[in-house]
Chains A and B, each alone.
Chain A
């Protein structure tokens, strides 16, 4: 820290280093700005996904009375039979539980490895056994989510957006480096007003950017991690699941007609992981299991661990536990990064703060874009000089 203490010790004060950081800031920002504006605009309504779904009549959950489906209710085999009767010829892919209500969901598809586009999500009341029909779709929210996740381009789209998240972080770092010399003679929070508007935009860009810096960095990084969710799950399945189920490696995948009792499997898993609550079951042959196992995912019982999943692999034919291990560190990081990105873990006030910070981010992006768009010839050298010497009161328009 002592190197920072002296007036002239900030290591980036020479004209050439400022030029380098300035160009890094300009280009990392320019490349990612259009994508980030899209992500901010689509992300705003997604913050309120739950509230919007509820308002549009999609809140099947709050009307249900009874014990949480993760704890008790009718036998799982009964619930699964009800679901499969609604989708003749299809196989079960997932069963998911609620920690708050008797709502239980079953996902079916034409084959164990069916892609997401061919899956059907069904809602049930585990307390009464009643079918609640297909999950109420919300075409607009689904559209926004898809645009926000992969721009309808699948994994390549996710990689592009992940890379944009990392460029955004680079823009934040370079912007912070430039902030120091620029603010040498301005006190924090100064927004100077001028006729041309350029200086005001620049000051707002710096103020909004530096104040929301930590939040933007966290959202950018967690968003980038989320972009690699599918490869991380595949890596877990091909690595750890394959190792846990090595004894089954030479067997043909278990056909759906030989799937055994879910209740027996759940009992075996809960005996191995006492006190934990089940979140969902991945059926054999899907992305979340082996070809022969029910993968039952349990969440932790404390707030800090409820975002972390521990899978128990149970032989789907016999109902005997094969192994239960927590997921690798990278997958744990992915699970923690999801709530941090979505902002959905602290109630409505947190979502409102998320909204304000997203609006601040949009303003940083927009003012940055305007500063670039309305530049004049030879502007780079003047800008670099402006940063190097610190902002002046005698403002070049």
Chain B
């Protein structure tokens, strides 16, 4: 359900914060090593595009069906 009751700020930023931490960790890991660290960098940095893809593919609720 996309419509939710009033969310706390920390709820709103939970996903963005986790993705931001993953991105920065990936950047640092990739820079500081090769081999396993590069693979970790790909995975951590790749999360952001995956999350966008997931959100776009998820069946979005159609607000036009609700009374306007």
State whether A350 touches B45 (Cβ < 8 A). Answer: yes
Contact call A393/B41, Cβ cutoff below 8 A? no
How many contacting A-B pairs (Cβ < 8 A)?
Answer: 145
Cβ contacts A282-321/B at 8 Å (1 or 0 each): 0000000000000000000001100100000000000000
Known: A10-B9, A180-B13. A185 touches B60 (CB 8 A): no
Q: Note all chain B residues with C-beta closer than 8 A to A376.
A: none
Q: How large is the interface on B (under 10, 10 to 19, 20 to 34, 35 or more residues)?
A: 35 or more
* A395: chain B residues within 8 A (beta carbon): 63, 68
Contacts of B34 in A (CB 8 A): 303
Q: Collect the chain B residues with CB atoms within 8 Å of residue A195's CB.
A: 64
Are B32 and A303 touching (Cβ within 8 A)?
yes
Which residues does chain A contribute within 8 Å of B1, judged by CB atoms?
A: 187
**Residue contact A6 to B8, C-beta cutoff 8 Å:** yes
Residues of the A chain whose Cβ atoms lie less than 8 Å from the Cβ of B15: 188-189, 210
Q: With A and B bound together, what is the CA distance between A336 and B28 in angstroms?
A: 10
CA distance in complex: A211, B62 (Å): 23
| Most A CB within 10 A of own CB, among B14, B19, B21, B45 | B45
| Residues of chain A from 143 to 190 with CB closer than 8 A to chain B in the complex | 176, 179-180, 183-190
Cβ of B63 and Cβ of A215 under 8 Å apart? no
Residues in A with CB closer than 8 Å to B16 are: 176, 179, 188, 210-211, 213
Collect the chain A residues with CB atoms within 8 Å of residue B23's CB.
Answer: 214-215, 218
Interface residues of B in 20-51 (CB under 8 A from A): 20-21, 23-24, 27, 30-34, 37-38, 41-42, 45-46, 48-49, 51
CB distance from B33 to the nearest CB of A (A): 5
- A residues sitting closer than 8 Å to B (CB atoms) are 1, 4-7, 9-10, 176, 179-180, 183-195, 199, 204, 207-208, 210-215, 218, 303-304, 307, 336, 339-340, 345-347, 349-350, 353, 356-357, 360, 390, 393-395
Q: List 8 A-B contacts (CB under 8 A).
A: A7-B8, A10-B9, A180-B9, A189-B54, A192-B2, A303-B33, A304-B33, A360-B48
